[in-house]
Amino acid sequence: MIPKKSQNSKYKHEFVMGKWYNEITIIKKECIRMSSSRTIDKPRLSIKFQTLAAIAAIVGAVAIPQLFHVMGAVSGLGTKLGETFLPMHLPIILAGLLAGPWAGAAAGLLGPLASSLLSGMPGTVMLPFMMIELCAYGLISGLLRTVKLPTVGKVLAAQIGGRAVRAAAILFSVYVLGNTALNPAVILTSITAGIFGIVLQWTLIPLIVFRVEKAGKE
């Protein structure tokens, strides 16, 4: 026969353990709820879709800037149109937001390279930094794809992240590797020259994403 004192102790222990288990379960459910409230439920992307999206973005990153180069040549503005409107950035950020980080990063890395090989733009001096910058754009926008945040906020985060990575790469190249072909002032001048294109992306990209996602649901 089990003493009454031992039985009470056993029941008390089981009661305390049960209470702790219930509290842990409640906390776990709350953490899951909070985590899910910060993300958006979107369909899983197939490898085929991501690959096609990356290819389309690379084609866009080559073709769209060429239109601005032609218009610049005709108008006598040269490369200023491209520097102002930043046409290569648009398809890369779109690829990330619509097809995820891997498609965005691949398009950002290969887009400038393909453009340079086919048209000579961007030039060899700026090519590595363009590849790094656009890869960051595509990666960051892709990572934010399912985050519950206005699309314009995702675009802004990608722009800031890409510019920061580019600036770090340029400073490292100049002050650590001794690259004399590049002036660090290009970090600020490229931002001021492209401010119109940066603001334009805040309008165009959310609109395109909205239209594409709406068409996909219909």
Tokens 């649901």 — which residue?
217
Query: Percent of the chain scored above 90 by pLDDT?
Result: 67
- Identify whether 31 is part of a domain: no
pLDDT exceeds cutoff 60 at 57: yes
User: Which residues have CB under 8 Å from 177's CB, separation 6+?
Assistant: none
Q: Report pLDDT for 32.
A: 52
pLDDT exceeds cutoff 60 at 11: no
Number of domains in the chain: 1
- Identify whether 131 is part of a domain: yes
- Identify whether 2 is part of a domain: no
How far apart are alpha carbons 51 and 40 in whole angstroms? 22
pLDDT exceeds cutoff 90 at 134: yes
Q: Report pLDDT for 105.
A: 97
Summarize pLDDT for 153-168 with one digit per residue, the tens. 999 999 999 999 999 9
Summarize pLDDT for 145-154 with one digit per residue, the tens. 999 999 999 9
φ, ψ dihedrals at 147, nearest 5° = -75, 135
**pTM over 0.75, yes/no:** yes
Contact between residue 183 and residue 167 where contact means Cβ atoms under 8 Å apart:
no
User: Which residues have CB under 8 Å from 187's CB, separation 6+?
Assistant: 166, 167, 170, 171
- Identify whether 21 is part of a domain: no
The CATH number covering residue 191 comes to 1.10.1760
Please report the DSSP string for 5-68 in residue order.
Answer: HHHHHHHHHHHHHHHHHHHHHHHHHHHHHHHHHTB---PPPPHHHHHHHHHHHHHHHHHHHHHH
- Identify whether 22 is part of a domain: no
End-to-end CA distance of the chain: 72
Confidence of residue 26 (pLDDT cuts 50, 70, 90): low
Q: Report pLDDT for 45.
A: 86
Query: Which residue range(s) make up the domain with 81?
Result: 46-217
- Identify whether 125 is part of a domain: yes
Confidence of residue 35 (pLDDT cuts 50, 70, 90): very low
Q: Report pLDDT for 37.
A: 53
H helices present in 120-194, as ranges: 127-143, 151-175, 186-193
Q: Report pLDDT for 205.
A: 97
- Identify whether 84 is part of a domain: yes
Q: Report pLDDT for 31.
A: 47
- Identify whether 27 is part of a domain: no
Q: Which helix (H) or strand (E) holds 196?
A: helix 195-217
